[in-house]
């Protein structure tokens, strides 16, 4: 009897996620779907108990879980890209080892949409941002009004797609540019590349948890935030050349905006009181505008 054709490959990379990896795997295993799935989970030579936990699950659910155990640490970018090439499904869903899914019908809902809408290369949904080990209130990832259907100009303008919410067509990324191996923001790179191949659908449901923690660059502020911003600029420059500068104006404006934010971040790091003064100035301006309206 032949193995069933895999409909969805779940792409999960992990490194030292001993505290979180069970929840990430359980979120996959709880999925209720009328199609076969596989979990490609790649451990980047963790130094904690992550690999032991993965092995326990892999032995119990060998028909679903296909682990990759790196013999040396290759870094998040190389791990992300190489794991993509191990995904055999028609669709690829992303869930990093410190995030997790909370809706057991998540994959079914997304696949049902993609099967009926061939002009879409990616669909995503909302997620809850959970802060662990750092200050911050839990909030929705997509708090602002997000378009139900996005196109390339929208993706260039802003990063707004939680990685743990992505379901994409495998065929849309069959030929990845070499420069993807030279960047940090692989998920954002995929957003841009997928937007070149089709439309993007937003499902306004909270079906995943996106963790921000002290061990992740995405959860950091100050120098970490600056690093991520510089990496986005680097990616946008690569993408600008890749698209033969068709979107030059849009990309250039985004870079200008990021550079302005970086200047503000540098001042905040150098003069912490500036954050307080900056807030006071804006409060004063709002009060002044409000008082004029009342007159």
What is the predicted pLDDT for the residue at 13? 98
Average pLDDT of the residues in 259-278: 71
Q: Residue 269's pLDDT is what?
A: 74
pLDDT over 90 at 127, yes or no: yes
Tell me the C-alpha to C-alpha distance, in Å, between residue 240 and each of 9, 38, 160, 161, 175.
Answer: 30, 35, 19, 20, 18
Residue 245 makes CB contacts below 8 A (sequence gap 6+) with: none
pLDDT of residue 268 exceeding 50, the answer is yes
Token pair of 88, please? Answer: 């055999």
Q: What is the chain's mean pLDDT, rounded?
A: 88
* Confidence (pLDDT) at 247: 97
Which H helix or E strand runs over 260? Answer: helix 248-270
Residue 292 has pLDDT above 80, yes or no: no
Spatial distance between the Cα atoms of 59 and 19, rounded to a whole number of angstroms:
20
**Would you identify the CATH topology of the domain 8-215?**
Spore Coat Polysaccharide Biosynthesis Protein SpsA; Chain A (3.90.550)
Distance CA 40, CA 229 (A): 29
Q: Where are the domains of the chain?
A: 8-215, 233-294
Strand residues in 146-192 grouped as ranges (E): 149-150, 167-169
The owner of tokens 């990324």 is 173
pTM, entire model: 0.86
């Amino acid at each position: 009897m032949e193995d069933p054709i895999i409909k969805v490959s779940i792409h999960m990379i992990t490194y030292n996620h001993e505290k979180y990896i069970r929840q990430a795997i359980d979120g996959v295993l709880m999925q209720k779907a009328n199609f076969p799935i596989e979990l490609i989970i790649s451990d980047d030579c963790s130094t904690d108990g992550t690999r032991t936990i993965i092995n326990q699950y892999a032995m119990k659910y060998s028909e679903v879980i296909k682990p990759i155990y790196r013999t040396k640490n290759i870094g998040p970018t190389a791990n992300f890209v190489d794991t993509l090439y191990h995904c055999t499904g028609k669709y690829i869903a992303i869930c990093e080892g410190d995030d997790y899914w909370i809706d057991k019908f998540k994959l079914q809902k997304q696949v049902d949409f993609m099967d009926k809408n061939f002009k879409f290369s990616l669909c995503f949904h909302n997620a809850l941002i959970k802060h662990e080990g750092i200050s911050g209130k839990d909030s929705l990832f997509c708090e602002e009004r997000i378009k139900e259907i996005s196109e390339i100009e929208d993706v260039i303008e802003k990063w707004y797609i939680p990685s743990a919410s992505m379901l994409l067509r495998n065929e849309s990324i069959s030929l990845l540019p070499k420069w993807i191996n030279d960047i940090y923001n692989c998920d954002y790179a995929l957003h841009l590349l997928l937007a070149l191949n089709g439309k993007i659908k937003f499902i306004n449901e909270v079906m995943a948890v996106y963790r921000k923690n002290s061990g992740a660059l995405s959860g950091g502020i100050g120098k970490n935030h600056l690093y991520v911003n510089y990496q986005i600029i680097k990616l946008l420059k690569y993408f600008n050349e890749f698209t033969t500068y068709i979107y030059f104006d849009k990309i250039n404006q985004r870079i200008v905006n990021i550079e302005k934010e970086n200047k503000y971040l540098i001042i905040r790091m150098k003069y912490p009181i500036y954050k307080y003064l900056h807030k006071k100035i804006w409060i004063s301006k709002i009060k002044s505008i409000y008082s004029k309206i009342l007159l």
